[in-house]
Structure 1
Amino acid sequence: MFTSFGRYILLLRLSFRKPEKFSVYWGEVMREMVSIGVGSLGIISIISVFIGAATTIQVAFQLNSPLVPGSVAGSIARDSTILEFSPTISALVLAGRVGSSIASQIGTMRVTEQIDALEIMGVNAPGYLIAPKIIGGLTMFPMLVIISICLGISGGYIACLASGDVSTVDYISGLRDGFLPLTIQVAIVKSIVFGFIITSICAYQGFYTTGGALEVGQSATRGVVYSCVMVLFADLVITRLML
């Protein structure tokens, strides 16, 4: 365990050494940002709208009482979406999409000896392959979470409009009542930490892949599982520290 952690830290140090040529690395960073951000926008949008709608309907069902104002459903749905559903569920989904892609891509390069070829040519392989992915994750994950929050709240509004369980006026009133900017800060911090965890752990699993195609699949699976577990653990820690 300690050996693996030491190799993980060493790999991160090698990844962020001074690059030989900034223009090449800049192009890789832009490519990863497009792959992570634009490539994940569709699945994040669909999940956010449906989760926001389902959350609002469930809250309205549980608070169906004449003693509870209808605006409470909007407040609870807003805080749940911002603090938990958008950052955490988005991270778990992105671990499956982005994390598995990173692990399998780097793992394939390892088993086909492409990484060895880069090192023979004097290229810092961790810096060239891993650093752009981590930077892309740190940049795009917060943007995806912000989009997820907006779409989740919009999904709740659509659910109110379609079902009539809560009036849209009460829902919007609940969104405005008692809003704390701290919740947005917590969501942004979570998204940055989650982005680093997913990209770095999956890159580590792929970089140290040995064997063939079967081991590449196993590395991708381990990367997704480990990153999901660490995302949930980090979610608990950040929530406890910031709230």
Structure 2
Amino acid sequence: MLAAFFVGGQVINHLIQRKIHRRNTLEQMALVGPDSLFIALLTAVFVGAVFTIQVVREFINFGAGNLVGGVLALALTRELSPVLTAVILAGRIGSAFAAEIGTMRVTEQIDAMLVLKTDPIDYLVIPRVIACLLMLPILTLLFLITGMIGGMMVATSLYQLSGSQFIGSARNFLHVWDIFSAIVKSSFFGLLISVIGCSWGLTTDGGAKGVGQSTTTAVVTSLLLIFISNFFLSWLMFQGTDSALN
């Protein structure tokens, strides 16, 4: 964790100085964004569908079937989309960052970079941080849209709810602040995933066994901090007793 704080401080300092390797950044953006799109959208469809199945029956029994779309929209926007997208990327991208940089560390490729006067923070870490900061919010919004589509398909085909009523309910419940909160959360989660993955990679030692340990620990640490930080972000953003129905 101390290494992660140290790496995060270096990233901020280098970003202020605009030390950005553009080609590496574009490559990492492709890895984080388009290459992760299919698994994120597939997860979103089934998350939205399952959530609707669990909610719609109870709401219909209470005569509130017209609120299902709004409840799903709030759940996806405020919690499910940013958190589950971050979980997917922590497992797929955070582990890849730790494994790749860790392998470079134990094979002394990073030492060779230092000999050639190439800063590993500029060349390896900052492109990955920027990629996660930019692509995770986009994936989160696409997750939200796809999850709503999956929920609407279940509501209309299995429970004969009106599609227009479903969408209208979501429109009435959602506010700009909800979308903004999802973007803020996903950006913060992207920062956590990238910094933790890179820091564990940079501090790897012990050969192949050390690479495996760093990869596993990077994923576990990222997941733990995602859930902990999500609580505090949610508390800061949604404390109080205001209702979305207002």
TM-score under structure 2 normalisation? 0.91
Seen in structure 2, the aligned counterparts of structure 1 residues 231 and 23 have a Cα distance that, compared at 3 Å, is closer
The residue type paired with residue 235 of structure 2 is R
- Equivalent in 125, 131, 141 of residue 120 of structure 2: 125
Matches within 5 A, 1:1-243: 4-5=1-2, 7-18=3-14, 25-65=21-61, 67-243=62-238
The DSSP-based 3-state class of the residue aligned with 1:209 is coil
Q: For the Cα contact (< 8 Å) 2:128–2:194, is it kept in 1? A: yes
Seen in structure 2, the aligned counterparts of structure 1 residues 91 and 9 have a Cα distance that, compared at 3 Å, is same
The DSSP-based 3-state class of the residue aligned with 1:83 is helix
**How far, CA to CA, are the matches of 1:9 and 1:179 in structure 2?**
35
Q: How many residues align?
A: 237
Q: For the Cα contact (< 8 Å) 1:70–1:167, is it kept in 2? A: no
Seen in structure 2, the aligned counterparts of structure 1 residues 69 and 8 have a Cα distance that, compared at 3 Å, is closer
TM-score under structure 1 normalisation? 0.92
- Identical-residue share of aligned pairs (%): 33
Deviation per CA, 1:29-62, whole angstroms, max 9, x where unpaired?
1111011001100100100011111111211022
**How far, CA to CA, are the matches of 2:20 and 2:75 in structure 1?**
41
List alignment gaps of at least 5 residues for structure 1: none
1:236 deviates by 0.5
1:17 deviates by 5.0
List alignment gaps of at least 5 residues for structure 2: 239-246
**How far, CA to CA, are the matches of 1:40 and 1:213 in structure 2?**
26
**How far, CA to CA, are the matches of 1:78 and 1:235 in structure 2?**
18
1:24 deviates by 7.6
1:190 deviates by 0.3
Q: For the Cα contact (< 8 Å) 1:14–1:127, is it kept in 2? A: no
Seen in structure 2, the aligned counterparts of structure 1 residues 232 and 24 have a Cα distance that, compared at 3 Å, is closer
The DSSP-based 3-state class of the residue aligned with 2:21 is helix
Q: For the Cα contact (< 8 Å) 2:20–2:127, is it kept in 1? A: no
Seen in structure 2, the aligned counterparts of structure 1 residues 103 and 62 have a Cα distance that, compared at 3 Å, is same
Q: For the Cα contact (< 8 Å) 1:190–1:235, is it kept in 2? A: yes
**How far, CA to CA, are the matches of 2:12 and 2:186 in structure 1?**
21
**How far, CA to CA, are the matches of 2:20 and 2:51 in structure 1?**
44
Seen in structure 2, the aligned counterparts of structure 1 residues 125 and 179 have a Cα distance that, compared at 3 Å, is closer
Q: For the Cα contact (< 8 Å) 2:25–2:128, is it kept in 1? A: yes
Deviates more, 1:162-171 or 1:191-200: 162-171
1:159 deviates by 1.0
**How far, CA to CA, are the matches of 1:238 and 1:213 in structure 2?**
37
Deviation per CA, 1:13-37, whole angstroms, max 9, x where unpaired?
3345559xx8980111111101100
The residue type paired with residue 29 of structure 2 is M
**How far, CA to CA, are the matches of 1:212 and 1:231 in structure 2?**
29
